[in-house]
Amino acid sequence: MGRRAAGDSGPERQTGTLGKAVEVLEIIASAEGPMRFTDILARSDQPRGTLHRQLTNLAAEGLVTADRGHSYSLGLRLLKFASRAWADNAFRAVAEPYLRRLHEATGETVHLAVLAGDEMIYLDKVESRKAVRMHSQIGNTAPLHCTGVGKAALSTLEPDELALVVGRLSYERFTENTLPGPGPLLDELARVRAEGVAYDREEHGPGIRCVAAPIPSSGRSRAAGLSVTGPIFRAGEERMQLWAGLVRDVAAEVTEELRARLGPRA
């Protein structure tokens, strides 16, 4: 894999010391397991010496750990930061009872995700108790062009901002149903705005469908998406339409409470 140019995953990065350290953390976090130095170097835009200093400093602060084979993984100190950020997140706290209510009504997995740059971050999740469950996790990221929550959040953006985001996405093909480029995505978003719901019909993963509704940004809250997700054998078209009404109504309630509680301060 070639070296990643700064800004490939979102708006242009700052190139200072902190920005470089965050880049290293993101590279390690995106891997499925510990990463060797050479693997990190291949995905970074930093010189070998600079990267070595970054990893040494991050390890000294407990933000990364190195095993005996000199492979790096995220450090336990990050758990403290993540736990505090999740517990103190006012957006998540407002939405949590609505997620649980939607879960009780559908019996399926419910997600809340927020728009962050050119991807979605799962902020909360209520897991289905049924046999087939989702592999998503709180804190993981998801692409915008092929997920219900991503398309829902995109549908709330102003035209100028939307054009910038849609123009720089990579449009990775996850399945044969994945939207192939900006034209089809913009057509899809026009439908989302008209109907108030977005769909993922096996676009991100085979056998998985979801219905999502947008939660526009307001005051101190980000643009977001709320979704119900299930396997295709439990998510036929009739069930999807039933979920659509439920998700749209619950997202509207969350939006109103967010405006009341997290709106602009006087």
For the chain, domain boundaries: 17-78, 89-262
pLDDT value, residue 15: 57
Query: Using one digit for the tens of pLDDT, what is the confidence trace for 187-202?
Result: 999 999 999 999 999 9
Which tokens in the block code for residue 244?
């659509």
Domains 17-78 and 89-262 share a fold: no
Q: Which CATH code for domain 17-78?
A: 1.10.10.10
Q: What is the pTM of this model?
A: 0.72
Residues 106-136 have pLDDT tens digits of: 999 999 999 988 999 998 999 987 765 566 7
The CATH architecture of the domain made up of 89-262 is: 2-Layer Sandwich (3.30)
Q: What is the pLDDT of residue 222?
A: 81
Residue 62 has pLDDT above 50, yes or no: yes
